[in-house]
Amino acid sequence: PERFRRFARLCVDAGVDVVHGHSAHLIQGVEAYGQGLILYDTGDFLDDYWVFPGIRIDHSFAFVVEFRGARVHKLSMVPVILTPGRVSLAKGENLEAITRAMVRRSARLGTSITPADGVCTLEMNKPMFTDHARSVSALQTLAFRSGY
């Protein structure tokens, strides 16, 4: 929802480097905003919920955020399939579907994701679609529940 996007962007404007959303159980896009990174939903990773037809809560990512000094430098996202008590690398049609979903949903947020060799990458030093700017005063993280 728009209120979560406003909240996340306000956090980055206030100096937060990474906003970590979780618990919606569905792939959401990521956003490069100014010098910050917004992960709108990182899922639950070990999922013990029912899988319903047409609602792929078993599709997710392993997220790795890399820093250079005190700044976010790169985000790598590895597509995974969740089963009760197990996480497996996505392959074949699942890999393609999960990757397409992240690329499309991030593009809607003005962020370009590069898929290659089974990993989706966002490099923060590359120009994005957006031109938001802010200064970073300190490394901070904030988590919020985006599913409620």
pLDDT per position as a tens digit, 26-81: 889 999 999 899 999 887 666 556 667 778 888 899 999 999 998 999 999 999 99
- Res 130: pLDDT: 40
- Phi, then psi, of 93 in degrees rounded to 5: -65, -35
Average pLDDT, the chain: 81
Note the helical H segments in 76-138.
92-107
**pTM for the whole thing?**
0.79
Q: What is the pLDDT confidence band of residue 83, given thresholds at 50, 70 and 90? A: confident
Q: Average pLDDT, stretch 75-92?
A: 91
- Say how far apart CA 25 and CA 31 lie, in whole Å: 18
